[in-house]
Chain A
């Protein structure tokens, strides 16, 4: 299913999230199981399935990484889940340094300062990669699509780091 079509939005990376939200609610108002509570067993079952599809579509478009993956899938490029040993040494180095930074937090005399530092670095890199991703996807040709796929793989590392940092932050208070 083309999620962009479902929400009447242009199939591109940049997205009006407010518009997405409005369209999402319009669809749920029609398909949500509560609108079919007085129906027969089969009607109810179908409503659950449709509402689940709509939720899935909304979830996929809302998150930039999933949205980019969906866009690539529509263009015939599926990003496999397995790790590809594609990474440039510079990128791997940077990852290792960030990981070391994260590992130091718990023993640091001022953990908050290190958390802030790690957070800033991660946000900066993420922003830069998201910009690159946008222009790669906007180019809309096979060569750039493959570049976009590589950027997505890199971004996944940063999202993972960010998640780990959040977990560390939570154990601090």
Chain B
């Protein structure tokens, strides 16, 4: 009798097929990593036994400390301890510095971008975030016993293109393969949706440390359709803390605070906020250099302090319902996300507005990471899940600068992504060979009131008479909400070259330089990392093309098939070796040889769809 093979819990029966994937909630205050094991999504604990890691990075003379240890040092060493770095992601120096009174470290201008002067030199938010991501990925690798194939990282739905790009750059710097940037509310709905098989329209109210999101989703047979999203990328529980700090200052009469005093006030403010969630009246002690300050605060006092902020979130809820074309009665459930939703006033205000008791059965601090883990498990290919489909929208309109400093919208907010829209431009001078395009994101009509995303210079336009050249510029937003731009002159078919100057982002070259010089990589062998990356991509290409050959070899002539097989064989051989450049060349060669094949396959599947075949017959 054959013995039954019983897999150990947490291990697949065929371990070589199970790929390690994780979901990461890169939060303003805390970050978490989660994964699906034995069919269940769970947060992962580090060696110290914690799953919630404070998003705090401290730079010392020759070390980088992340998490609880760094948070403990925040008061001691405020200049070199970076908290709430998420608020700085993709932001300009001028934008942040105008509102820097609560930021206890020294901000510097890194060619327009905000950065922080630390004992280890200037660090930008991407580098700081990469430290947090690398720490979480380490926890996952250690717990799961292997390197991660890919991760899903969550971002606020309201994040604009620069903030998303900065997050992706941070992951790249940390050496992670990003399967998807997932919107936090979608992740939260995913965690709840699969749990209880919900159907209907739900609102996700996400009040984190530094950001507020409100999203309306329709859940139907495994489809998560975002109907509208809105919020405020600079409003969160941290602002509750700051209102308490202001109140404390009035109590103590201390108008001006040093960096470390501000830290002490902030720590006390947070404790007061957390305690007032459970009690109505609180006696507190604020340690000061001049001695202890003893005071008293009631929940009603606290409610009055934060009332304007809570009202601001409810206003955003109204707006997003309007965008979705829905009334409050049509919302069946409200999912609560983020630690700040523990505040009683927040819960009651939300319950009152939506006339529904908010869902809180999954820990609001962990629900996003859990949803991200579920999606990571699907995307990496562990679960051939044909049912789940996430349809997200672009949170802010994309537009172009036109004459007179006005913005013309190309892609309105709440358009389902991926999306591609083309716009035609023409030259206005004889022989003109270049053109500048300014892309903005926001809802206002004036350029100055929107956020500048990037400036594109189109060059190599064929010289023609004025108005003769028609340049078709295509704006494409992928499933991560990231913009890319291509341009083509219509009559000649010549591709115009595009140089992108991100307004609040790093160029590809800058990211590459950061990777080269990064401390994260000094620990590993840089060359080895690059080799590994190419090997992984080679493996993907081999798998994809082999699967295509198995399915659709009939689309190729015998000769074509032979050359594809030769390219594959060559790639498989080169992949075994350690010549990074050769592997890269072999991938490019294979791609080149199979371009036509891939196009034919895509054509066929679209044509089959056009001819009325059901999808499962294709």
Contact = CB atoms under 8 A, between A and B. Distances in A.
Interface of A: 1-2, 5-6, 8, 25-34, 37-43, 46, 48-53, 55-56, 58-59, 170, 173
Contact of B380 (A33, A38, A40, A51): A38
B70 interface: no
A169 to B, nearest CB: 9
20 contacts: A5-B610, A27-B615, A29-B389, A29-B615, A30-B605, A34-B379, A34-B389, A34-B479, A37-B180, A37-B379, A42-B595, A42-B598, A43-B598, A49-B476, A51-B479, A55-B415, A55-B416, A56-B419, A59-B415, A173-B318
B520 interface: no
B418 A52 contact: yes
Contacts of B150: 37-38
Interface string B583-613: 0000000010001001000100110011110
B540 interface: yes
Given A37-B179, A37-B180, A41-B537, A55 B479 contact: no
B322 A53 contact: no
Contacts of B421: 56
Q: Which 3 A-B pairs have the closest CB atoms?
A: A37-B379, A52-B420, A38-B381
B352 interface: no
Contact of B416 (A26, A30, A59): A59
Contact of B390 (A34, A43, A59): A34
B612 A33 contact: no
B223 interface: yes
B2 interface: no
B591 A53 contact: no
A40 B541 contact: yes
B518 to A, nearest CB: 23
Nearest to B152: A37
Contacts of A58: 416
A26 B223 CA distance: 11
Contacts of A8: 612
B417 interface: yes
Contacts of B223: 25
B602 A50 contact: yes
Given A37-B179, A37-B180, A49 B420 contact: yes
Interface string B387-430: 00111000000000000000000000001111111000000000
Given A34-B479, A38-B540, A48-B476, 16 more contacts: A5-B611, A25-B389, A29-B615, A33-B478, A34-B375, A37-B380, A37-B381, A39-B540, A46-B602, A50-B602, A51-B418, A56-B421, A58-B416, A59-B416, A170-B319, A173-B318
Nearest to A166: B322
Contact of B479 (A32, A39, A46): A32
B191 to A, nearest CB: 17
B476 A52 contact: yes
B380 A6 contact: no
Contacts of A51: 418, 479
B255 interface: no
Given A32-B479, A170-B322, A43 B544 contact: yes
A2 B610 contact: yes
A87 to B, nearest CB: 24
A48 B379 contact: no
A26 B610 contact: no
Contacts of A49: 418, 420, 476
Given A32-B479, A48-B479, A40 B544 contact: yes
B256 interface: no
A86 to B, nearest CB: 24
A31 B378 CA distance: 15
- The secondary-structure label for the interface of chain B is mixed
A26 B386 CA distance: 10
Contacts of A46: 598, 602
A27 B479 contact: no
A27 B540 contact: no
A38 B383 CA distance: 12
Interface centre among A30, A49, A53 (most CB of B within 10 A): A30
Contacts of A27: 609, 615
For B223, B378, B476, B478, the residue with the greatest tally of chain A CB atoms inside 10 Å of its CB is B478
B618 interface: yes
A32 B180 CA distance: 12
Contact of B418 (A26, A30, A33, A170): A33
Contacts of A33: 418, 478-479
Contacts of A48: 418, 476, 478-479
Contacts of A29: 386, 389, 615
Contact of A40 (B476, B540, B611): B540
Contacts of A26: 614-615
Contacts of A5: 610-612
A170 B319 CA distance: 9
Contact of B537 (A40, A53, A55, A59): A40
Contacts of B598: 42-43, 46
A8 B540 CA distance: 34
A57 to B, nearest CB: 11
B417 A55 contact: yes
A27 to B, nearest CB: 6
Nearest to B480: A33
Contacts of A52: 417-420, 476
B196 to A, nearest CB: 21
Nearest to A51: B418
B420 to A, nearest CB: 4
Interface in B268-291: none
Contacts of A30: 605, 609, 615, 618
A50 B612 CA distance: 17
Interface string B2-37: 000000000000000000000000000000000000
Contacts of B318: 173
A50 B540 CA distance: 20
Nearest to A26: B615
Nearest to A169: B322
Contact of B389 (A6, A28, A37, A56): A28
B479 A6 contact: no
B538 to A, nearest CB: 9
Contacts of A32: 389-391, 479
Given A34-B479, A40-B544, A48-B478, A55 B418 contact: yes
Contact of B609 (A6, A34, A43, A170): A6
Contacts of A40: 537, 540-541, 544-545, 591
Nearest to A28: B389
A48 B417 CA distance: 9
A106 to B, nearest CB: 18
Interface in B494-552: 537, 540-541, 544-545
Contacts of A28: 389, 391
A173 B319 CA distance: 11
A23 to B, nearest CB: 9
A56 B415 CA distance: 10
